[in-house]
C-alpha cells in the first residue's frame, strides 16, 4: 500500500510540475529547435529532466530511507541534470560532457556503490584497482545508452519505466526494499512526465532528463545486483538490452564508416523503424514491446536454474540477431538468421 502511495505522489508531483516547466522553458528559451536529424517540426521545451528530478527528490524525502546511498542519487542526479542543461543550451563538446558524466558518476562510487567482484561458479574474483574504472565505464555506458535512444516522443522514458519495473520486481524477490522504493518513485515520476511526453510531445526530456534516467538506472542496477554471480551479471545487461544494442551498433556503424563515435546520425533503432514505414507512435510501441521481451527474459532468468538460464540467454541472443537483421541495424546485406527463419516458416506452411 505504501508503495502505491509513493508511486501516486511522485506521479502527481510531476503531473503538476509539467505545465509550469513547459511555460518556464518557453519563457527563458530552453527549447529544442528542429534540425536535420530530429523528427519534431517545431520548437519543444526540454526541461523535463528537472521536473523529474524534483519529483524524485520529493518522493525520496517523503519515503525517508535510512540507507545513506539515497544521497548519492540526489547529489549525482543533480550534477548530471546541470550538465545536461548546459549541454542542451550550449551543445557541449564531447570531452566536456564526458567530464560532467564522470563527475556525477563519482558520487555513488564515493558512497561505496561499485562493482568490486564477481563470483562465477562460486569462485570470488576481486577487481581490486580496477573496481573504480569498471564502475565508471558501467555508469557512463548506461547514461549514454539512454541518451542515445531518446529520439522519439516517449521512447527513452517508456523504456526506462520498463527497465525500472524489471529491476524493482527482481529486488522485491531479493528482499531489497530500498532499491525497489527508488524504482517505484522514479517510475511514478516518469509516468507523470509521459502524460506530456507521449506523441505528440509537449515537452522533451532533453539531455538533462535522458542522462538523469540513465544515471539512476545505472545506480539502482549496481545496488540491485551488488552480489554479482556469473548469471546475475547478465540481469542489468538484458534489462537494458534495447539501449545497449542501439549504442553498440551505432558505434559499429561509425567505426566502419571511419567517422567519429560522437557524430550524430539518423540510423538508430527508431530511425530504422521509421524508414521501414512505421509511424512515430508505432515505432515507439514496437520498441516498448522489444524492451518488454528482454525485461520478461531477465525475470525468467532470475527465477531459472543454471541450465534454464543458459537456454534463456541463448534465446535472447537469437532474438537480438533477428531484431538487428530485421531492421538492418548493422547496415549489412547478410541476414543469415532471418533467412533461416524465413526458410523454416516457409517449409512448415508450404
| Angle, vertex CA 184, rays to CA 283 and CA 323, nearest 5 | 25
Whether residue 227 is annotated as binding a ligand: the answer is: no
- Give the closest residue to 142 by CA, choosing from 163, 166, 170, 165: 163
Helix (H, G, I), strand (E, B) or coil at 229: strand
Whether residue 117 is annotated as binding a ligand: the answer is: no
Parallel/antiparallel/unpaired status of strands 117-119 and 31-32: unpaired
Helix (H, G, I), strand (E, B) or coil at 125: strand
Q: Which is it for the CA torsion 168, 170, 175, 176, positive or negative?
A: negative
The answer to whether 72 and 183 have CB atoms below 8 angstroms apart is: no
b/e map 131-163, b = 16+ CB within 10 Å? eeeebbebbbbbbbbbbbbbbbbbbbbbbbbbb
Q: Which residues are annotated as a binding site for Mg(2+)?
A: 147, 207
Q: Which residues are annotated as a binding site?
A: 147, 207
Amino acid at each position: 500500500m505504501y508503495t502505491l502511495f509513493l508511486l501516486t505522489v511522485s506521479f502527481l508531483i510531476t503531473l503538476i510540475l509539467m505545465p509550469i516547466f513547459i511555460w518556464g522553458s518557453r519563457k527563458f528559451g530552453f527549447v529544442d529547435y528542429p534540425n536535420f536529424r530530429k523528427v519534431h517540426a517545431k520548437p519543444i521545451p526540454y526541461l523535463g529532466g528537472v521536473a523529474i528530478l524534483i519529483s524524485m527528490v520529493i518522493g525520496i524525502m517523503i519515503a525517508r530511507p535510512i540507507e545513506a546511498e539515497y544521497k548519492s542519487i540526489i547529489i549525482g542526479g543533480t550534477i548530471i541534470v546541470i550538465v545536461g542543461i548546459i549541454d542542451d543550451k550550449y551543445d557541449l563538446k564531447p570531452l566536456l560532457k564526458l567530464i560532467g558524466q564522470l563527475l556525477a558518476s563519482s558520487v555513488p562510487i564515493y558512497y561505496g556503490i561499485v562493482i568490486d567482484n564477481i563470483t562465477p561458479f562460486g569462485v570470488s574474483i576481486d577487481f581490486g584497482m580496477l573496481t573504480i574504472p569498471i564502475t565508471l565505464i558501467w555508469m557512463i555506458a548506461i547514461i549514454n545508452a539512454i541518451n542515445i535512444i531518446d529520439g522519439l516522443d516517449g521512447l527513452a522514458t517508456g523504456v526506462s519505466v520498463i527497465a525500472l519495473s524489471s529491476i524493482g520486481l527482481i529486488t522485491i524477490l531479493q528482499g531489497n526494499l530500498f532499491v525497489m522504493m527508488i524504482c517505484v518513485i522514479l517510475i511514478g515520476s516518469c509516468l507523470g512526465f509521459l502524460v506530456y511526453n507521449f506523441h505528440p510531445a509537449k515537452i522533451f526530456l532533453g539531455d538533462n532528463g535522458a542522462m538523469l534516467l540513465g544515471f539512476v538506472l545505472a545506480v539502482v542496477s549496481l545496488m540491485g545486483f551488488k552480489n554479482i554471480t556469473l548469471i546475475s551479471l547478465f540481469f542489468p545487461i538484458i534489462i537494458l538490452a534495447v539501449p545497449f544494442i542501439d549504442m553498440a551498433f551505432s558505434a559499429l556503424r561509425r567505426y566502419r564508416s571511419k567517422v567519429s563515435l560522437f557524430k550524430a546520425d539518423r540510423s538508430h533503432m527508431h530511425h530504422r523503424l521509421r524508414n521501414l514505414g512505421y509511424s512515430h507512435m508505432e515505432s515507439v510501441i514496437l520498441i516498448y514491446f522489444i524492451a518488454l521481451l528482454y525485461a520478461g527474459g531477465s525475470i525468467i532468468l532470475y527465477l531459472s536454474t543454471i541450465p534454464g538460464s543458459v537456454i534463456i540467454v541463448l534465446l535472447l541472443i537469437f532474438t537480438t540477431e533477428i531484431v538487428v537483421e530485421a531492421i538492418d541495424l548493422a547496415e549489412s546485406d547478410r541476414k543469415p538468421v532471418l533467412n533461416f527463419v524465413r526458410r523454416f516458416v516457409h517449409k512448415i506452411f508450404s
